[in-house]
Amino acid sequence: MDYTKLVIPQHRIQPKFMAWLNAALEPLQSTQKLLTSLGDQFDLDRAVGAQLDRVGAVLGVSRKLPFQPSGNVSPVMEDTNYRLVLRAAVAKQHFDGTIPNLYGLLQTVLGNSGLYFVPIDNQDMSVAIIVFGAVSSLVRDELEHGMIIPRPEGVSMTVNVTEDKVFAWGLENEVFGGWGESTWIQTRNNF
């Protein structure tokens, strides 16, 4: 706020008074401006570069992946992908282990990415997650290495990412199909 606009007209025309007032108010106004912008600088949606690294340090997530991604992709994530992994780390802290909560968190993390998630509870302390849709090789690797989908403690999880319809008996929809139009999923990772 510009406090000099609150000065009455009688004093506003006095150059020495206005110079003195500006000298006194400028440090306070610049500090107020900095404090107002501080939240935006470390907002997950707006932060970039070193600011994202700092958010990652607070969340305990390094910018460097703990594995070598496929396709000769660098294990050091660029800002957009790092933001996705950080958002997933926050979502994991809010996961209560239920399937409805899982859908809500995945919607928060991935938004309208066009991916379909089909969790299958095997009733033996394991769950299979089928991810259907087109993703980059890096996001595929992160999904398959458990960096995006939250996992309940003590439950093993298998993630299968596919762009092809998955074979299922008697189930025809956007994700599942029958003979001749679908493929068998391969078990890839269990963590």
* pLDDT tens string 13-37: 999 999 999 999 999 999 988 888 8
- pLDDT at residue 178 greater than cutoff 80: no
User: Minimum mean pLDDT among 42-56, 66-80, 132-146, 154-168: which range?
Assistant: 154-168
Q: What is the pLDDT of residues 44-61, one digit of tens each?
A: 888 889 989 999 999 999
For residue 86, what pLDDT band results from cuts at 50, 70 and 90? very high
The answer on 137 and 62 residing in a single domain is yes
Judge whether 26 lies within some domain: yes
Residue 172 Cα distances to 10, 165, 180, angstroms: 80, 9, 12
The answer on 76 and 26 residing in a single domain is no
What total of structural domains would you count in the chain?
2
User: Minimum mean pLDDT among 4-8, 63-67, 97-101, 187-191: which range?
Assistant: 187-191
Contact 113, 87 (CB under 8 A): no
The answer on 172 and 110 residing in a single domain is yes
CA distance 178 to 166: 8
DSSP state of 5: G
The answer on 172 and 113 residing in a single domain is yes
Q: Strand pairing partners for 131?
A: 117, 161
Q: What value does the mean pLDDT take over residues 127-139?
A: 88
The answer on 60 and 23 residing in a single domain is no
Q: What is the largest CA-CA distance in the chain?
A: 88
Judge whether 123 lies within some domain: yes
Contact 21, 7 (CB under 8 A): yes
Burial class (CB in 10 A: 0-12, 13-18, 19+), 102: buried
Residue 88 has a pLDDT of: 94
Q: What is the pTM of this model?
A: 0.72
> Cα 101–67–127 angle (5° rounding)?
30
Residue 84 has a pLDDT of: 93
The answer on 37 and 116 residing in a single domain is no
Residue type, 127: V
The answer on 76 and 35 residing in a single domain is no
Residue-number span of the structural domain to which 81 is assigned = 50-190
Judge whether 139 lies within some domain: yes
The answer on 106 and 134 residing in a single domain is yes
The answer on 62 and 28 residing in a single domain is no
- pLDDT at residue 97 greater than cutoff 90: no
